[in-house]
Amino acid sequence: MSKARPAALAGLALACLTALSAPARADEGMWMPSQLPQLAGALREAGYAGDPAQLADLTAAPLNAVVRAGGGTGAFVSADGLVLTNHHVAFGVIQYNSTPERNLIDNGYVAATRAEELPANPDFRVLVTVGFDRVTDQVLAGTRGRKGRAYQEAVEAATKRIVSECEQEPGIRCSVAAMYAGSDFYRIRQLELRDLRLVYAPPRAIGNYGDEIDNFMWPRHTGDFTILRAYVGKDGKPAAYSPDNVPYNPPSHLQVSATGPKVGDFAMLAGYPGVTYRHRTAAEFARQVEWTLPARVELFDALIAVIEQAGREDARARTLYASQLQGLKNNRKRAAGELEGLRRSDAVRQRTADEQAMLAATPAAERREIDALAEVLERDNAMRERDLLLGVATSQSQLLRSALVLERLRIESGKPDAARAPGYQARDLALIEGQLRQVQRRFHPEVEKALLRELLGRYQQLPDAQRVAEFDAAFGRTPEALAQALDALYAGTGLGDEQARLDAFAAAREGKALPADPLLALAARLVPAQIRLENVRKTSEGEQLRLRPAYMRALAAWRKAQGRALYPDANGTLRVSYGKLAPLQPRDAVSYAPVTTVAGIVEKHTGQVPFDAPQPLLDAIAAGDFGHTADPELGTQTVDFLTNLDTTGGNSGSPVLNARGELIGLNFDSNWEAVSASWWFDPRYKRAVHVDMRYMRWLMEKVYPAPHVLREMGL
């Protein structure tokens, strides 16, 4: 909480239950800043030299220097609004300014003067959190006596009202975040900076050295950083780009440390982690490990085989589906990695034992809602095969998906914009149109039919309880009927033609009748079924929102009994994690040092993308002129370092601070062994990967010099 406010007595004040002095386990925890004063003892014991109470104040240093930047995190690093974030977070900005003649992606960029700072793409945003206030009572006031979808709708209505009121203030974006799975709600106020400019970017072969091959890998040798500057109107208020705008003066900024970290040194990080599932029930853990992940791996393997077989038979199909195939392989790899990690950590057994102990310590009255939650989850579970297959049939098809989207758009367009389903509002139209245009480059009827034969063929084998009448009517109950239906649909549809799709889009966005087409006619029959299933899902989600707080109360009480604090699962709000520089023993007899050096850049260099280190970098490494940025013990230039900080997607660009609150690193990835950390934090394997600020300084001093920028950063 940004201001001290009495914990509401109505409901169970979960925030109070979490006010304990010990973290959940060594270095686990994405803490709300408001929790940090209560962790003061642990923070000091871990080595933090500052005042933990100071960390609770979002409007004071250092946390008011930490911002949401694009899809990740960033930090102010000068009084004139320099924002440091990842190269990959700011990649859109670099790309937006890049042309074949002036290839900023390949060559990097150094703005020699402020006049040369290049405007970001207009939709790039930097958000500064300026308020974080508990609004649980307001949000839940209308939910009394409600259940299921009605419960969720009451929460949504209250949320919209709060956001709308809050956004009366100009230049402020507001949102309401559910903490502890709906136990608590916070109103978040953010200053919305809209004029960002590119100041410094290293070449791609530094900022993204290793690319996909090194993604999730440690040891790492990537200089994944970029420097932007925030501008505001002359009145100091957020404004869209204008040449008359002036640099934004943040209330505080981070200072880069003169020295680097050593093994065991305290480190902390602040940022906007996206989503975690750490506090899910044991049944959900079991479902994830025993069913969801294996099923995804198996299904993706089958779809990969279908596309690869088609590619062997037809070179054009191979080209058209290259990107979809890559996506499937990435998803498959991630699911397999998560599964491997959860199994290695024995997460299901541990979570189950923990939950059983918790339930044994929970009063019967409390357990009633927890039992009801279990029933809701079990009901979802009964439809899991169907939900997976029909979901993937939509996401992995091009023409079928287009038809379904067009029909749904037709239906939604008949309503007032605010009442339309998310994804079908006025602001979504450009995206839909873009997707409809893109189909041309990604569609081959034989491949799509083969994918749907695979997916819907599996659907056909499900028991009756999981069947959907409209799908059965459309595709029959046998593989032969399915194949015939698909052949007829794809032989008859005109949607393979871009103009036909755009014509249908023009009608759909006006809510008018769609052209006659077999696939659109099919969509007209299937979409009502989809909406029906969606309503079932929303009812379940409402019930979960209503019932999970009981589970979280029991968990918080159990943690308290264990002498441990509880942090809410990540939800895109500002969090703080603390820990230390730590090596990694990923496997028997293998050790990874927590610091990499420029020697590794040369070792990995092949001259081929993505290991094509630029010649000026190789020359500078060979010259060995590292000076004061060299590590005194290693006697050479460091590149990246590793900590045991608790992070997840969204933490990209998070500043990493030392015990004195000085900037030592920039978070940009985690290790492969930690893919499963979105569900389970295993201190043996969970690591976060950071750019060493000494590498950034060296690059900016000696390789692609920007002395004026360094000076502005006080270096």
> Which candidate in 577, 652, 654, 678 is catalytic?
652
Q: Cβ of residue 610: shortest distance to a second copy, in angstroms?
A: 17
Q: Cβ of residue 348: shortest distance to a second copy, in angstroms?
A: 17
The nearer residue to a second copy, 106 or 603, going by C-beta atoms, is 603
Query: If binding is defined by CB under 8 A, does position 8 make contact with a second copy?
Result: no
The nearer residue to a second copy, 42 or 595, going by C-beta atoms, is 595
Binding-site residue total for a second copy (CB under 8 A)? 19
Q: Cβ of residue 292: shortest distance to a second copy, in angstroms?
A: 20
Query: If binding is defined by CB under 8 A, does position 618 make contact with a second copy?
Result: no
Handedness of CA 320, 323, 329, 335 (dihedral sign): negative
Q: Segment contacting a second copy (CB under 8 A): 152-160, 440-448, 452-460, 597-605?
A: 597-605
Question: In the block, which residue shows the tokens 């290293």?
Answer: 202
Q: Segment contacting a second copy (CB under 8 A): 394-402, 422-430, 584-592, 658-666?
A: 584-592
CB contact at 8 A, 284 and 575: no
Q: Cβ of residue 27: shortest distance to a second copy, in angstroms?
A: 20
Q: Cβ of residue 595: shortest distance to a second copy, in angstroms?
A: 7
The nearer residue to a second copy, 149 or 262, going by C-beta atoms, is 262
Query: If binding is defined by CB under 8 A, does position 611 make contact with a second copy?
Result: no
Question: Contacting a second copy (CB under 8 A), which of 115, 463, 587, 632?
Answer: 587
- 224 an active-site residue? yes
Query: If binding is defined by CB under 8 A, does position 150 make contact with a second copy?
Result: no
Residues 206-265 that bind a second copy (CB under 8 A): 218-219, 221
Pair of tokens at residue 585 = 């023993």
Contacts of 617 (CB under 8 A, 6+ apart): 205, 206, 601, 699, 703
Query: If binding is defined by CB under 8 A, does position 626 make contact with a second copy?
Result: no
The nearer residue to a second copy, 102 or 343, going by C-beta atoms, is 343
Q: Cβ of residue 599: shortest distance to a second copy, in angstroms?
A: 5
Query: If binding is defined by CB under 8 A, does position 113 make contact with a second copy?
Result: no
Question: Contacting a second copy (CB under 8 A), which of 225, 558, 592, 698?
Answer: 592
The nearer residue to a second copy, 60 or 599, going by C-beta atoms, is 599
> Which of 471, 523, 520, 457 lies closest to 492 in space, CA to CA?
520
Question: Contacting a second copy (CB under 8 A), which of 344, 442, 537, 702?
Answer: 344
The nearer residue to a second copy, 313 or 378, going by C-beta atoms, is 313
Q: Cβ of residue 299: shortest distance to a second copy, in angstroms?
A: 19
The nearer residue to a second copy, 440 or 606, going by C-beta atoms, is 606
Q: Cβ of residue 331: shortest distance to a second copy, in angstroms?
A: 20
The nearer residue to a second copy, 547 or 639, going by C-beta atoms, is 639
Query: If binding is defined by CB under 8 A, does position 40 make contact with a second copy?
Result: no
Q: Cβ of residue 652: shortest distance to a second copy, in angstroms?
A: 21
Burial class (CB in 10 A: 0-12, 13-18, 19+), 336: middle
Query: If binding is defined by CB under 8 A, does position 685 make contact with a second copy?
Result: no
Residues 298-327 that bind a second copy (CB under 8 A): 312
Q: Cβ of residue 594: shortest distance to a second copy, in angstroms?
A: 8
The nearer residue to a second copy, 312 or 532, going by C-beta atoms, is 312
Question: Contacting a second copy (CB under 8 A), which of 172, 286, 593, 618?
Answer: 593
User: DSSP class of residue 417?
Assistant: G
Q: Cβ of residue 643: shortest distance to a second copy, in angstroms?
A: 14
Query: If binding is defined by CB under 8 A, does position 427 make contact with a second copy?
Result: no
CB contact at 8 A, 205 and 195: no
Buried residues in 397-424 as b, exposed as e (16+ CB within 10 A): bbbbbbbbbbbbbbbbbeeeeeebeeeb
Query: If binding is defined by CB under 8 A, does position 378 make contact with a second copy?
Result: no
Q: How far apart are CA 236 and CA 578, in angstroms?
A: 34
Q: Segment contacting a second copy (CB under 8 A): 297-305, 355-363, 581-589, 648-656?
A: 581-589
Neighbours of 374 (CB within 10 A): 18
Q: Segment contacting a second copy (CB under 8 A): 27-35, 77-85, 544-552, 586-594?
A: 586-594
CB contact at 8 A, 139 and 184: no
Pair of tokens at residue 642 = 């590793």
Question: Contacting a second copy (CB under 8 A), which of 19, 172, 295, 599?
Answer: 599
Helix (H) or strand (E) holding 32: none
Q: How far apart are CA 424 and CA 422, in angstroms?
A: 6
> Which of 644, 706, 658 lies closest to 254 in space, CA to CA?
658
Q: How far apart are CA 196 and CA 93, in angstroms?
A: 9
CB contact at 8 A, 224 and 691: yes
The nearer residue to a second copy, 603 or 633, going by C-beta atoms, is 603
> Which candidate in 57, 87, 88, 605 is catalytic?
88
Q: How far apart are CA 13 and CA 185, in angstroms?
A: 11
Query: If binding is defined by CB under 8 A, does position 597 make contact with a second copy?
Result: yes
The nearer residue to a second copy, 436 or 595, going by C-beta atoms, is 595
Query: If binding is defined by CB under 8 A, does position 591 make contact with a second copy?
Result: yes
User: DSSP class of residue 634?
Assistant: T
Contacts of 438 (CB under 8 A, 6+ apart): none
Q: How far apart are CA 138 and CA 135, in angstroms?
A: 5
Report long-range pairs for 113-119 (Cβ below 8 Å, ≥24 apart): 114/229, 114/247, 117/197, 117/198, 117/199, 117/229, 118/93, 118/197, 118/198, 119/195, 119/196, 119/197, 119/198, 119/241
CA dihedral 473, 477, 481, 483 (to 10 degrees): 100
> φ, ψ for residue 614 (rounded to 5)?
-65, 150
Residues 347-366 that bind a second copy (CB under 8 A): none
- 652 an active-site residue? yes
The nearer residue to a second copy, 127 or 689, going by C-beta atoms, is 689
Query: How many Å from the N-terminal Cα to the C-terminal Cα in the chain?
Result: 34
Query: If binding is defined by CB under 8 A, does position 4 make contact with a second copy?
Result: no
Question: In the block, which residue shows the tokens 């260099």?
Answer: 605
Query: If binding is defined by CB under 8 A, does position 608 make contact with a second copy?
Result: no
The nearer residue to a second copy, 304 or 599, going by C-beta atoms, is 599
Q: Segment contacting a second copy (CB under 8 A): 14-22, 99-107, 422-430, 591-599?
A: 591-599
Pair of tokens at residue 160 = 């919209």
Helix (H) or strand (E) holding 141: helix 136-141
Query: If binding is defined by CB under 8 A, does position 588 make contact with a second copy?
Result: yes
Query: If binding is defined by CB under 8 A, does position 690 make contact with a second copy?
Result: no
> Which of 577, 570, 706 lies closest to 650 in space, CA to CA?
570
- 88 an active-site residue? yes
Question: Contacting a second copy (CB under 8 A), which of 73, 129, 281, 596?
Answer: 596
DSSP string for residues in 219-257: S------EEEEEEE-TTSS--S--TT-EE---S----B-
Q: Cβ of residue 428: shortest distance to a second copy, in angstroms?
A: 41
Q: How far is CA 54 from each of CA 11, 22, 43, rounded to the nearest angstrom?
A: 29, 19, 12
Amino acid letter, residue 31: W
Question: Contacting a second copy (CB under 8 A), which of 17, 486, 595, 620?
Answer: 595
Q: Cβ of residue 265: shortest distance to a second copy, in angstroms?
A: 17
> Which candidate in 57, 224, 265, 517 is catalytic?
224
> Which of 712, 685, 683, 684 lies closest to 700 in space, CA to CA?
712
> φ, ψ for residue 485 (rounded to 5)?
-60, -45
Residues annotated as catalytic are 88, 224, 652
The residues of the shown chain that bind a second copy, judged by CB under 8 A, are: 218-219, 221, 312, 344, 587-597, 599-600, 603
